């Protein structure tokens, strides 16, 4: 009955915000980038007989967001990605969206999009939602972004259907929303009976407090995964995500913690139940003195202990797709365009993970300690040169998802050098090179001590054009 009233109230809100627009103003925003990349090898197995070919190609993406301003306080927001492809390369084959009813997770080869990879190579809409700023707060209904909170750590921009409410009370902003990851109800597009209520849902509450020079917040997430109920298991997981940002003189500090607990696996028989207990954190500081700046980062993502089968300590949360601290290690863009690079006996970077909601994505850091130091120089206002040294090691010496032990625990040490030049206010050019001194983690289960690894390097250049808030004037619509 409670679910019935929740659905009824949600439908009422959707209908209340479903109104035809007779006259609108339109705002366009978005971005375009094109890049070329060269990577030395696609695996790091030395003397393996299949060293992996080097790879070099160009790729691009156009992103356009359009805001239809229906009236003061009411707007329709859409966003699409187009021509996201490697120049002249083979195109992706058509693949499923996120409607595979037999899986508890999304089934989509382009997990951070509402469209598939094949659709993104042409055009794929990610956002379509109504925003209404009322006297009692802001409402949003439709497909919109989710997964970005606080700092870049742990973030991933995942379009998902949501009903959201937010309001500001002095320095405090309160937020609440529900999200639908997967629905298995019988429809004309999903003519399978017996799967009603085998859904994946999320319920969130958050609060943010802002003061001069900083902000802090706390987000609570409840995931309910009943996608495999009746044939396998269910999950009810809770996550707490506190964060803080502050500027103290020339130093900017930010930190975030992600703590997960609850029922990672509740089986029908009661055999094989697992509790979730995972912790991940990041702290970063940058001191900016104008022409010079320097800083450092530390991140920890707990790994799963294969000796505790009744507990899940890692592999559920990653460092996210939006946080890319290095050019090679744990870099989502490199992973998206070039896949992960592999080592001996199935080791890989990024690590495979078993997030039940993003199961097709292995992006982001997991099972790791990460340290980074960096320094930058701005010899002129338009040029920014940065050097960074990163070191990463495994928290647990095993391969995530499989629980297979490895003999070494070091991912490696990476040196990155990047330079970004602002040609105009809206056009920038970036050139970067990264070199990875490969660690012994990639020797895999090397009991005989015969597996050797080799270093890897990457070169990248890109041009980017952000375009925001271009007003087109009034438009008439039916």
Domains and CATH numbers, the chain: 2-17+31-476 (2.40.160.100)
Q: Which residues, other chains included, contact 86 with Cβ-Cβ below 8 Å and sequence gap of 6+? A: 57, 58, 59, 337
The pTM for the full model equals 0.88
Helix (H, G, I), strand (E, B) or coil at 388: strand
Length of the chain: 478
Backbone angles phi, psi at 201, to 5 degrees: -125, 160
**CA distances in angstroms from 294 to 89, 245, 388, listed in the order given:** 39, 17, 10
pLDDT tens per residue, the chain (478 residues)?
Answer: 445 444 444 544 444 445 555 557 999 999 999 999 999 988 898 887 776 778 999 999 999 999 999 999 999 999 999 999 999 998 887 665 444 433 333 445 677 888 888 899 999 999 999 999 999 999 999 999 999 999 999 998 889 999 999 999 999 999 999 999 888 777 777 777 666 677 889 999 999 999 999 999 999 999 988 876 666 778 899 999 999 999 999 999 999 999 999 998 888 777 778 899 999 999 999 999 999 999 999 999 998 888 888 998 988 888 988 999 999 999 988 888 888 888 888 888 887 665 545 444 567 898 999 999 999 999 999 999 999 999 999 999 887 666 678 888 999 999 999 999 999 989 999 999 999 999 999 998 876 678 889 999 999 999 999 876 544 444 333 3
Q: Which DSSP string corresponds to 179-200?
A: EEEE----BTTB---S-TT--E
- Check if the beta carbon of residue 341 is closer than 8 Å to that of residue 349: yes
Distance from CA of residue 263 to its chain's centroid?
A: 23
Q: Which residues, other chains included, contact 289 with Cβ-Cβ below 8 Å and sequence gap of 6+? A: 250
Cα angle for residues 114, 117, 121 (degrees, 5° grid):
105
- Check if the beta carbon of residue 67 is closer than 8 Å to that of residue 73: no
d(CA 279, CA 259): 5
Helix (H, G, I), strand (E, B) or coil at 16: helix
Q: What is the pLDDT of residue 358?
A: 45
- Check if the beta carbon of residue 386 is closer than 8 Å to that of residue 418: yes
Q: Which residues, other chains included, contact 463 with Cβ-Cβ below 8 Å and sequence gap of 6+? A: 33, 34, 35, 427, 428, 429, 430
Backbone angles phi, psi at 273, to 5 degrees: -60, 145
Q: Which residues, other chains included, contact 329 with Cβ-Cβ below 8 Å and sequence gap of 6+? A: 349, 365, 390, 392, 411, 412, 414, 436
Distance from CA of residue 190 to its chain's centroid?
A: 28
């Amino acid at each position: 009955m409670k679910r019935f009233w929740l659905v009824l109230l949600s439908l009422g809100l959707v209908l209340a915000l479903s109104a035809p627009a007779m006259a609108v103003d339109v705002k366009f925003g978005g971005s375009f980038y094109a890049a070329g990349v060269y990577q030395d090898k696609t695996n790091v197995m030395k003397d393996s007989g299949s060293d992996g070919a080097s790879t070099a190609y160009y790729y691009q993406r156009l992103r356009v967001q359009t805001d239809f301003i229906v009236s003061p306080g009411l707007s329709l927001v859409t966003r699409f990605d187009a021509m996201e492809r490697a120049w002249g390369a083979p195109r992706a084959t058509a693949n499923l969206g996120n409607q595979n009813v037999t899986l508890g997770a999304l089934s989509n080869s382009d997990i951070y999009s509402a469209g598939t990879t094949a659709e993104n190579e042409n055009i794929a809409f990610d956002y379509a939602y109504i925003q209404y700023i009322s006297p009692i707060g802001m409402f949003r209904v439709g497909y919109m972004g989710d997964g970005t909170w606080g700092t870049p750590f742990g973030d991933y921009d995942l379009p998902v259907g949501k009903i959201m409410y937010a309001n500001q009370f002095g320095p405090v902003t309160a937020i609440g929303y529900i999200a639908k990851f997967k629905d298995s109800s019988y429809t004309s597009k999903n003519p399978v009976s017996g799967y009603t209520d085998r859904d994946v849902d999320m319920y969130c509450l958050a609060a943010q407090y802002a003061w001069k020079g900083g902000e802090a917040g706390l987000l609570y997430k409840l995931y309910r995964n009943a996608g495999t109920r009746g044939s396998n298991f269910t999950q009810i997981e809770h996550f707490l995500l506190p964060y803080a940002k502050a500027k103290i003189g020339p130093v900017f500090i930010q930190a975030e913690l992600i703590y997960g607990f609850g029922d990672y696996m509740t089986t029908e028989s009661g055999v094989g139940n697992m509790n979730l207990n995972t912790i991940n954190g990041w702290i970063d500081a940058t001191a900016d003195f104008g022409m010079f700046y320097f800083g450092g980062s530390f991140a920890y993502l707990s790994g799963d202990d294969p000796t505790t089968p009744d507990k899940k300590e890692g592999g559920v949360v990653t460092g996210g797709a939006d946080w890319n601290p290095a050019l090679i290690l744990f870099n989502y863009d490199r992973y998206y365009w070039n896949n992960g690079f592999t080592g001996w006996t199935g080791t890989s970077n990024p690590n495979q993970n078993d997030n039940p909601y993003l199961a097709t994505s292995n992006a982001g850091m997991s099972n790791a300690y990460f340290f980074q130091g960096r320094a930058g120089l701005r010899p002129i206002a338009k040029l920014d040169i940065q050097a960074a040294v990163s070191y990463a090691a495994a928290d647990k010496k095993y391969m995530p998802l499989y629980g297979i032990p490895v003999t070494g625990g070091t991912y490696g040490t990476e040196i990155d050098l990047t330079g970004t030049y602002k040609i105009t206010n809206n056009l920038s050019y970036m050139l970067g090179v990264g070199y990875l001194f490969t660690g012994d983690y990639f020797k895999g289960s090397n009991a005989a001590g015969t597996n050797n690894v080799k270093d890897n390097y990457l070169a990248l250049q890109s041009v980017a054009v952000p375009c925001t808030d271009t007003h087109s004037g009034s438009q008439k619509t039916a």
